[in-house]
Amino acid sequence: MITSQSFNLLEASHWTDYALLDSGDGLKLERFGNYVFVRPESQAMWKRSLDAEWKQAHAVFQPTGEESGGHWDFKKKVEEKWEMRYVLDPSIIEKGEIKFWIMTTPGRHLGVFPEVATHWDWFSGLIAGSKKELNVLNLFGYTGLATLAAAYAGAKVTHVDASKKSVNWARENQALSKLTDKPIRWIVDDALKFVQREARRGVKYDGIILDPPKFGRGPKGEVWEVYKSLPNLFEACRACLSDNPLFVVTTIYAVRASAIHVAQAMEDMMSGFGGKIEMGELVTREQSAGRLLSQAVYARWEKS
């Protein structure tokens, strides 16, 4: 049985190339490398602490009514793409630096979700500490930063995303990080269909990283809706777990989700493996007033 559960607020505190400068009035002011951006943040239900800094932003994202839809209003010149880096927790991984390209996209995202870096540190430590090569699956892998962190720590990684553009971006990040010699398998596919096929083939994974969107479509138009689709995905992932798995982690950005509910679904998935489950929220701390901005809920299981 699952031996314990705990609730935590996890903060990615090792960033130098990213900062949440301020937030409030439904917006957040962030630095990505040398550029500052304003993006919508409905949960910033307070007044801003800064003033002049907001006026110096390089670009403001103007949303439409569609999910992540809108356009960038550029106030200053911004490069087409620029380089950022993240150094994995040095107390866990020695010289664990990953580099990646950042750019403004037609949506509000720029190629990195900084708050999930706390997961990179966590599973990288587990992988490195296992002292053996592990088989890790990264579903909804986006631009590949979790994949690169796991590969750097010593895992063989299968990276799956429905977007060919995202997978190509991830491969460019692999080259930028000088990790082209690492065993990474890049797959453009629908996450659920891929895992179901892997289960039929008898492929097993020691660790699984799940970072599903609230809504999405596969390469053949497959519809993903997190509340309806996640239980089926958990069931399929269970069938792909090795006899002695090391970790499973999922991050949910959907507003209505509760960490408690995600953890309970994961407890069903991991029944019989023992271990422990941690759940909570991924948060980012403002530089201005020190307030915590909740970005997502998560649940993660690890072997005892």
In degrees, rounded to 5, the angle at the alpha carbon of residue 236 between the alpha carbons of residues 233 and 241 is: 120
Closest C-alpha to 222, from 168, 162, 166 = 162
- What is d(CA 72, CA 58) in angstroms, rounded to the nearest whole number? 10
Q: What is the reported pLDDT for 254? A: 65
Task: Locate 278 and state its tokens.
Answer: 């941690």
DSSP string, 10-79: EE----SSEEEEEEETTEEEEEETTEEEEEE-TT--S--S-SHHHHT-SEEEEE-SSTT-EEEEESS---
pLDDT for residue 139 is more than 80: yes
CA distance 139 to 125: 20
Task: Indicate the average pLDDT of the chain.
Answer: 93
**Does the pLDDT of residue 185 top 60, yes or no?**
yes
Helix (H) or strand (E) holding 220: none
Between helix 226-239 and helix 259-269 the angle, nearest 10°, is 30
* Architecture label for domain 4-13+82-302: 3-Layer(aba) Sandwich (3.40)
DSSP code, position 58: S
pLDDT tens digit string along 266-295? 999 999 999 999 999 999 999 999 999 999
Does the structure show a pLDDT above 60 at 300?
yes
Helix 191-201 crosses helix 226-239 at what angle (to 10 degrees)? 20
* pLDDT at 64 (0 to 100): 85
Instruction: Provide the b/e sequence for 40-56 (b: ≥16 CB within 10 Å).
Output: ebeebeeebbbeebbee
Residue 109 CA to residue 123 CA, distance in Å, equals 24
The angle subtended at Cα 218 by Cα 103 and Cα 216, nearest 5°, is 65
- Predicted confidence at residue 68, as pLDDT, reads 64
Structure tokens at 214: 């609230």
Say if residues 237 and 195 touch (Cβ distance below 8 Å).
yes
| pLDDT for 213 | 81
Confidence of residue 224 (pLDDT cuts 50, 70, 90): low
Task: Check whether 140 has a pLDDT greater than 70.
Answer: yes
Q: How does pLDDT run across 81-132, given as a tens digit for each residue?
A: 999 999 999 988 888 999 999 999 988 999 999 999 999 999 999 999 998 8
> Which pTM does this prediction carry?
0.94
Q: What confidence tens digit (pLDDT) does each residue in 234-257 have?
A: 999 999 999 999 999 999 986 566
